[in-house]
Amino acid sequence: MRRRTVAIGAKTVMYYVETPIETIRERVVGRNDNLTKDSFEISREMLEKYLTYWQPPSEDEDYILASELE
């Protein structure tokens, strides 16, 4: 995606919201309890599989930490 935006002369900005994994799990449960017609359930198994691939951005990825915004 970044290459595409650079190719058209746009600037990319990545915002990172640092959230504990347990909070993510709780929010997914709450989301599943209130699904809209345009959304789908995320099972515990699906979330856990996703989380095995998750890693926070590294220092060289040029991101903005949301908690540091004014």
Question: HSE (CB half, 13 Å, CA atoms) of 54?
Answer: 13
- Kindly tell me if the per-residue pLDDT of 1 is higher than 80: no
- Checking if the pLDDT of 5 tops 90, the result is no
48 CB neighbour count, 10 Å cutoff: 11
For the stretch 14-69, pLDDT in tens is 899 999 999 999 999 999 999 999 999 999 999 999 999 999 999 888 899 999 88
- The pair of structure tokens assigned to 17 is 């919201």
pLDDT at 6 (0 to 100): 83
Q: Give the CA-trace dihedral at 14, 5, 50, 32, to 10 degrees.
A: 80
